[in-house]
A and B are shown apart, each in its own frame.
Chain A
Amino acid sequence: MHTIAVTGGKGGTGKSTIASSLAVVLSEQKKVLLADVDVDCPNDHLILDVERKKLVDVFQSIPQWEFDKCTKCGTCASVCKQNAIVAVKGKNPAFVPELCIGCKACIVACPVKAIQEGRKKIGKIYSGDKYGVHLVSGELKLGELASGEMVVETRKVADDLAKKNGFDIVLVDSAAGIGCPVIASLHGTDFVVAVTEPTPSALHDLKRVLYLADHFRIPRGIVLNKADMDTGFAKKIEQFAKNHGIPILGRLPYRQDVVKATIKMKPIVIYDKRYKKTFIDISNTILRGL
């Protein structure tokens, strides 16, 4: 089983657009699971028009005080970096669950072991099928902070499902950026597909996300989306790729088609079969490299 991450740094370059069509095309040769780990705003179920059904709730640990043991020393409040615990002289500490990220520092620090581990719900994992692709979609509960943890849980569920059911490929569609959730999306994958576009912001952000892939020593390739949007800047991206020995897996044109397909809730390779060839070429290049 191989895991391929689709990321890119800059938002809006076409990660989900490419990940969803790549999944559809790959599923013609292999058994594919698409894990949507943009847990803040998952969209793959909209691109593929999948009716998602809830698989599991995801929980995070929170402290639970045994006040009969509490000596009101205030240590728990002093170690909480989230300011989720308020200690007042002579009173039992007050706790704000919304601010807790489950680090358990308070549980560890309590000198009389008065704090147990409780839990709170931080999100849901859904699944569904379309075009031969099994989608697993992670969604963070609004107001919760633990995006990274939610990504880890969604990947765990996806990996378990994939192993148990003999999937060949897990395609991980990450969020934009380079933060905790993206790191959790790339870590331990076999290949990173970096989706970019010919703009200075995209190139800037692409370099940042490729740094992550290199840090984790994961082989990587670039998909240049909206390639003809600016042929001059596209050349800069190609030159950058060449200078750093990063293969360009494929190029996609800047067309209204993709917008139309997205609004009709169809992956581009289904909306217009002429796009299939490019995606087949990209998938073959990736499979050869694995």
Chain B
Amino acid sequence: MKIVVSASGPDIESTVDEKFGRCPYFIVAEIVDKTIVSHKSIENTSTKQMTGAGTTAAQLVADMNVDAIITGNMGPRAFTIFQQLGIAVYEGRGIIKKAVQDFIAGNLRKMESAKCPRHMFS
């Protein structure tokens, strides 16, 4: 099973990045028999963009043939893309290694909708 985690640093001991689209790195972890058998980091090239980072990041991650994603917050565009592609998104925080282990144990909450800023004006 392949999991991608939005990362604030380039290794599995870094923390889960709160934001999916503009996190500096992604950690890609391979899970076999409930164990992390391998992991690597990938630079998130979407951060350089002015707009549309969420969609580009979603394309980047989706192309990796992932089974699930762990992140802090995901915007509506990336979220709808993963929903349509049938890739589950889970909420995770703290050290990435621990978040992945929590995922394996089934302790992470699945994201039911994108995090939207409160609409203050009408």
Contacts and interface: CB of A to CB of B under 8 A. Distances in A.
Interface of A: 83-84, 86, 88-89, 91-92, 94-96, 98-99
Given A86-B55, A86-B62, A95 B77 contact: no
Given A83-B56, A99-B52, A99-B55, A94 B81 contact: yes
Chain A interface mostly helix, strand, loop or mixed? loop
Contact of A96 (B55, B62, B63, B86): B55
B76 A86 contact: no
A88 B56 contact: no
Interface string B37-71: 00000000000000010011011001101000000
Given A86-B62, A88-B62, A89-B63, A95 B84 contact: yes
Contacts of A88: 59, 62-63, 65, 85
Interface of B: 52, 55-56, 58-59, 62-63, 65, 76-77, 80-82, 84-86
A116 to B, nearest CB: 17
Nearest to B63: A88
A178 B82 CA distance: 38
Contacts of B52: 83, 99
A94 B80 contact: yes
Contacts of A99: 52, 55, 77
B77 to A, nearest CB: 5
22 contacts: A83-B59, A86-B58, A86-B59, A86-B81, A88-B59, A88-B62, A88-B65, A88-B85, A89-B65, A94-B58, A94-B62, A94-B81, A94-B82, A94-B84, A94-B85, A95-B84, A96-B77, A96-B80, A96-B81, A98-B77, A99-B55, A99-B77
A40 B79 CA distance: 27
A84 B55 CA distance: 8
Nearest to A91: B85
A42 to B, nearest CB: 15
Chain B CB within 10 Å, residue with most, of A88, A89, A91: A88
A227 B55 CA distance: 49
